[in-house]
Structure 1
Amino acid sequence: MGLLSILIFVPLLFALMILLLPKKYSQSYKYFTVAVAVIQLAITAYLYYQFKTGTAFTGVNQLDSYQFKEYLPWIRLDVGKFGALQIDYLLGVDGFSIPLLFLSALVMLIAALSSWEIKENHKGYFSLMMLLNTAIMGVFCALDIFLFYVFYELMLLPLYFLIGIWGGVRREYAAIKFFLYTLLGSVFMLLVIAGLYFSVIDPVTGNHTFDMVHMMNPQNYVPDGIFSFLAHQDILGIPARLLGFIVVFIAFAIKVPIVPFHTWLPDAHVEAPTPISIILAGILLKVGGYGIIRIAYSIFPDVALNLSFYIGLLGVVSILYGAMVALAQTDLKRLIAYSSVSHMGFVLLGLASLTSEGISGAMMQMISHGFLSVMLFFIVGVIYNRVHDRYIYNFRGLATHMPIYTGFVMVAFFASLGLPGFSAFIAEAFSLIGAFNSESINGLIPRWMAILGSFGILLGAAYLLWTLQRMFFGQLRVKEESWLIKLKDLNAREILTLVPLAFFAILLGVMPSLVFNIINSSVNQFILLFT
């Protein structure tokens, strides 16, 4: 068993252990969860350190371009004239997935530490957390599209119960809305996956295959396949490849989320417990962005190229809409949820540019937003766990009462608004540079999109600085006098949780090469798909 398999299945092993342990050991469950997260963080850090830069992504060099590969024949079934059904346990990572694996391990550790605030049904909660952990790691490691889909769908079940059981007052509504939204997109994606299977041949075995890397190579498509580059077949009067791209793109756009597929996010964030909000913002949104890169763009590059204008437009709309709605919020958690919609819009704008700068900026934005959104939602959880209130106008002058807490809030807010020296500045700057240069490099998106997108940074500064001024400066005032006793400054566990997040937000702002060096070859080879 390789390191990627250990990374995926160690949480599942501990989930079974938690389910088998008697209830009297319930206090040990949280320690198991933290221990698993620490093991995963150590493994992903080692993989990141050992990752060899300069190797290429995409079907040009087939599987040789992926590292830490693991292969095991999984399902073989004779299907008559179509040969043998071939589904493989195929794992591997490249420059796009390895940073997201490290990010996921760190976020799961933060979520595990945040979960110490959970007061009831520890067995169910922590076993579901472990199952979710397995699914997340599997998504970023899978190179067989059927295996990817299994892990992708597996995320739904634990999230549905984690929100629906341990969430807020309207938790059932939020959980059902989240489940239906994401299931709607992924059900139709399964049909596209089936069509891709019968359109692609493994050049070694001659069988149809679910291998994503083979699907990225036009030479592996059979002439009469429904998604063949050559056949130009239609489905319901729509070109098959166009329809396939739209279905897959919408499935992942719901996860990102992109306007107008975003409405599940504020409800899920507001009702979810703090650890699950951390996972939703820190990881789940990145699964959507990763899926767009790995499947929608890489398997349907011809369609992505033709739809770049509309994809960029969706990114700009998300940036501006999310920021303006965030500006109107009075619930701190809801404000941060809408800010995520705005920030993830930069990912789509950078991808639409199909320039090295834009795609590098999109990747950096996903990683940066992962750290910063986790930090922001943890900060909200600190206040909520003490007084069970998130209404912005119920707090004022907290800087004098909670100085350490305010210091971390200022780091998170200034980093999120894109101040130079922080990771978000690099990410947003490269996304906008890529979008601005796209018109002269490849003519895909006009410069006015980059100009409009930059207004999202101004709006971000407005809602974050206004929130900082309303809650933390001025004369100390809270809704109830009894809150002043409950509103204690950060304890050691909370400081320990926030320090690494602040550290990475600053480190990647000062040394972005730690990410760019890893992703550079993958980005350049990715762009070759569109030439």
Structure 2
Amino acid sequence: MILETLIGVTFVAALATFLTPDEHAERVAFVLSLLPVVGSLYAWYAFDGTGNALLDGGSLAFATQIDWLTVGGYTLQWFVGLDGISLPLVVLSTVLTSLAILSAWTPIDVRQSQFYGLMLFMEANLIGVFTALDFFVWFVFWEAVLVPMYFLIGVWGGPRRKYAAIKFFVYTNVASLAMFIGFMALVFNLPVDSFGLPAIAGALRAGELGGFLGLTPGTLAAVAFAAMFFGFAVKVPVAPFHTWLPDAHVEAPTPASVMLAGVLLKMGTYALLRFNFTMMPDVAAQFAVPIAILAVVSVIYGAMLALAQQDLKRIVAYSSVSSMGYVILGLVAYTELGVGGATFQMVAHGLISGLMFMAVGVIYNVTHTRMLGDMAGMADRMPVTAGIFVAGAFGYMGLPLMAGFAAEFFIFQGSFTSTVLPAAPLFTATAMFGIVIVAGYLLWAMQRTLFGEFSLETDYEVTRAQFHDTAPLAALLLFTIALGVAPETFFDMITDAVVPMLGGGA
């Protein structure tokens, strides 16, 4: 019952934080957020699962499967479990939430109990997304994540917070509707009597899908695949479905941006891996070329947009679009290293993007500006923050012995040797060019903001950041280096879960 305890404790922590007076909320929330961290680390330590959660249910770790109720001949179940794909994302969610809460101590000074309560409520639902194996349970968690993020942006965000929050909510809800319709069209034409994801995946991979409204099984599968891909691609986001992301990031408070880039975007790539590429590998192979084109366009276009920005936060936001393009490329390659590297990139990007957004937030807390043209020479006034910012930027560029390098190396090697993707070397080489653009905009941004003569015009003194601002940055940097030096920490369990899904289908 460790997963039920983990989710339940996090919900209780959220409720307790809501009821805590504002003057004590930040410390109470941080202490309570350590409980899920301990639980997830224990799950990692005790993990003994092998295989894939959707294809080899008997090997699930910490699994619970209890019938709940029957509706229209279908049984709804409380069905949760972990495999090597979901466990690293659960650990990422808990660790990043605690560090994001700690980073909020300076910028969040109103309605603290509500803010921190929403952060913990969002964490509980994120854990649910990565552990649920019944579609309706999973979908409840999936939709519930949107609610706290909407309020975090809309209440504590910047001047255009209401517009950004509504845009985020509308885009993601429309995408969820398309995904829901596509998935249910599959379920209602399969010989299954539950919404358990393993049963549905098994039936789809066995070719048991029937026709619907005159559509052949092949056509229905293609239409449903496209609907689900669209729904998840908006969440990732993949260009051209990315336009909600920069507005949400720029207006969101720093801790919300950390969670949005670090974990919420991974919901989309995780769902693509579970639903599209695990359940329907044959259809994924049919759509390999257009999906690869979207991946490469996201890599290059996102990097080019970042290069054109003057706002530090927008630069980091657009870089996430580029980084998620690498994940899609690894998935569509459908090789052990490609899919494994894509999953590893989800964790690596979560750490590095969280570090970058926190660093931008610390600089903003001191300078009250994020514009490149307004500041220079920050390294003299904030040497620790500047040093970690530079290290994080090099991690984004793929510096060896950092997690980003390992992830991109796995993806490129896996995609280059793909037999599913036509012209795989060409797509890989084009995507690799994105690294050059990433180096360009990050080096340019650092040169403008951190080095040279101090030039910020302000009426107050710019001094070093406080310890509780820099401690989360240092922790994320250490985690990034640790995963880069020893990627097998997560990569071995990831490949154990990836290999079964490559054994059949495409």
Q: Do residues 370 (structure 1) and 363 (structure 2) align?
A: no
Gap change, CA 1:76 and 1:513, over 3 Å in 2:
same
Q: Do residues 461 (structure 1) and 469 (structure 2) align?
A: no
How far apart, CA to CA, are the structure 1 residues paired with 2:204 and 2:400? 45
Residues 154-169 of structure 1 aligned to structure 2 (within 5 Å):
154-169=144-159
Q: Do the aligned partners of 1:87 and 1:209 also contact (CA within 8 Å) in 2?
A: yes
**Alignment gaps of 5+ in structure 2:** none
Q: 1:136-186 CA distances to partner (integer Å, 9 max, x unpaired)?
A: 110001000111110000011111111111100000110011001000011
Residue identity in the other structure for 2:12: L
Residues 411-430 of structure 1 aligned to structure 2 (within 5 Å):
411-430=391-410
Determine the structure 2 residue equivalent to 1:39.
Answer: 35
Deviates more, 1:385-394 or 1:229-238: 229-238
Gap change, CA 1:516 and 1:391, over 3 Å in 2:
same
Gap change, CA 1:36 and 1:235, over 3 Å in 2:
farther
Q: Do the aligned partners of 1:233 and 1:239 also contact (CA within 8 Å) in 2?
A: no
Determine the structure 1 residue equivalent to 2:178.
Answer: 188
Residue identity in the other structure for 1:284: L
How far apart, CA to CA, are the structure 1 residues paired with 2:172 and 2:329? 22
Q: Do the aligned partners of 1:281 and 1:370 also contact (CA within 8 Å) in 2?
A: yes
Residue identity in the other structure for 1:11: T
Aligned residues: 505
Q: 2:243 aligns with which of 248, 254, 263?
A: 263
Determine the structure 2 residue equivalent to 1:291.
Answer: 271
Determine the structure 1 residue equivalent to 2:365.
Answer: 385
How far apart, CA to CA, are the structure 2 residues paired with 1:26 and 1:401? 32
Q: Do the aligned partners of 2:19 and 2:113 also contact (CA within 8 Å) in 1?
A: no
How far apart, CA to CA, are the structure 1 residues paired with 2:121 and 2:385? 32
Gap change, CA 1:352 and 1:193, over 3 Å in 2:
closer
Determine the structure 2 residue equivalent to 1:57.
Answer: 52
1:426 offset after TM fit, Å? 1.1
1:85 offset after TM fit, Å? 3.0
Q: 1:385-404 CA distances to partner (integer Å, 9 max, x unpaired)?
A: 22321001111111122111
Determine the structure 2 residue equivalent to 1:144.
Answer: 134
1:443 offset after TM fit, Å? 4.8
Q: Do the aligned partners of 1:66 and 1:92 also contact (CA within 8 Å) in 2?
A: yes
Determine the structure 1 residue equivalent to 2:428.
Answer: 450
TM-score w.r.t. structure 2 length?
0.95
Determine the structure 2 residue equivalent to 1:528.
Answer: 503
How far apart, CA to CA, are the structure 2 residues paired with 1:191 and 1:179? 18
1:190 offset after TM fit, Å? 2.1
Residue identity in the other structure for 1:37: S
Q: Do the aligned partners of 1:235 and 1:243 also contact (CA within 8 Å) in 2?
A: no
Q: Give the 3-state SS of the residue equivalent to 1:261 in structure 2.
A: coil
Q: Do residues 131 (structure 1) and 126 (structure 2) align?
A: no
Q: 1:307-359 CA distances to partner (integer Å, 9 max, x unpaired)?
A: 11111111100000000110111000000000110011100011111111111
Determine the structure 2 residue equivalent to 1:214.
Answer: 199
Gap change, CA 1:433 and 1:219, over 3 Å in 2:
closer
**Alignment gaps of 5+ in structure 1:** 203-207
1:405 offset after TM fit, Å? 1.3
Q: Give the 3-state SS of the residue equivalent to 2:195 in structure 1.
A: coil
Q: Do the aligned partners of 1:200 and 1:220 also contact (CA within 8 Å) in 2?
A: no
Cα RMSD between the aligned structures? 2.0
How far apart, CA to CA, are the structure 2 residues paired with 1:358 and 1:165? 40
Q: Do the aligned partners of 2:11 and 2:124 also contact (CA within 8 Å) in 1?
A: yes
Determine the structure 2 residue equivalent to 1:76.
Answer: 70
Q: Give the 3-state SS of the residue equivalent to 2:230 in structure 1.
A: helix
Q: Do the aligned partners of 2:232 and 2:268 also contact (CA within 8 Å) in 1?
A: yes
Residue identity in the other structure for 1:272: A
Residues 113-128 of structure 1 aligned to structure 2 (within 5 Å):
113-116=102-105, 117-128=107-118
Determine the structure 1 residue equivalent to 2:481.
Answer: 506
Q: 1:37-68 CA distances to partner (integer Å, 9 max, x unpaired)?
A: 21111111111121126x1115543x212111
How far apart, CA to CA, are the structure 2 residues paired with 1:272 and 1:236? 45
Q: 1:491 aligns with which of 466, 474, 492?
A: 466
Q: Do the aligned partners of 2:189 and 2:211 also contact (CA within 8 Å) in 1?
A: no
Q: Do the aligned partners of 1:8 and 1:134 also contact (CA within 8 Å) in 2?
A: yes
Determine the structure 1 residue equivalent to 2:88.
Answer: 99
Q: Give the 3-state SS of the residue equivalent to 2:3 in structure 1.
A: helix
Deviates more, 1:9-18 or 1:171-180: 9-18
Q: Give the 3-state SS of the residue equivalent to 1:246 in structure 2.
A: helix
Deviates more, 1:243-252 or 1:454-463: 243-252
1:19 offset after TM fit, Å? 3.9
How far apart, CA to CA, are the structure 2 residues paired with 1:43 and 1:359? 27
How far apart, CA to CA, are the structure 2 residues paired with 1:273 and 1:514? 32
Gap change, CA 1:87 and 1:385, over 3 Å in 2:
same
How far apart, CA to CA, are the structure 2 residues paired with 1:115 and 1:28? 13
How far apart, CA to CA, are the structure 1 residues paired with 2:138 and 2:327? 22
Q: Give the 3-state SS of the residue equivalent to 1:239 in structure 2.
A: helix
Q: Do the aligned partners of 1:58 and 1:526 also contact (CA within 8 Å) in 2?
A: no
Q: Give the 3-state SS of the residue equivalent to 1:218 in structure 2.
A: helix
State percent identity of aligned pairs. Answer: 37
How far apart, CA to CA, are the structure 2 residues paired with 1:29 and 1:184? 34
Residue identity in the other structure for 1:504: F
How far apart, CA to CA, are the structure 2 residues paired with 1:231 and 1:262? 33
Determine the structure 2 residue equivalent to 1:108.
Answer: 97
1:115 offset after TM fit, Å? 2.3
How far apart, CA to CA, are the structure 1 residues paired with 2:114 and 2:153? 12
Q: Do residues 343 (structure 1) and 323 (structure 2) align?
A: yes
Q: Do the aligned partners of 1:435 and 1:445 also contact (CA within 8 Å) in 2?
A: no
How far apart, CA to CA, are the structure 1 residues paired with 2:465 and 2:289? 46
Q: Give the 3-state SS of the residue equivalent to 2:417 in structure 1.
A: helix
Q: Give the 3-state SS of the residue equivalent to 1:474 in structure 2.
A: coil
How far apart, CA to CA, are the structure 1 residues paired with 2:221 and 2:135? 17
How far apart, CA to CA, are the structure 2 residues paired with 1:425 and 1:266? 25
Determine the structure 2 residue equivalent to 1:205.
Answer: none
1:231 offset after TM fit, Å? 4.1
How far apart, CA to CA, are the structure 1 residues paired with 2:241 and 2:136? 24
Q: Do the aligned partners of 1:298 and 1:529 also contact (CA within 8 Å) in 2?
A: no
Gap change, CA 1:36 and 1:247, over 3 Å in 2:
farther
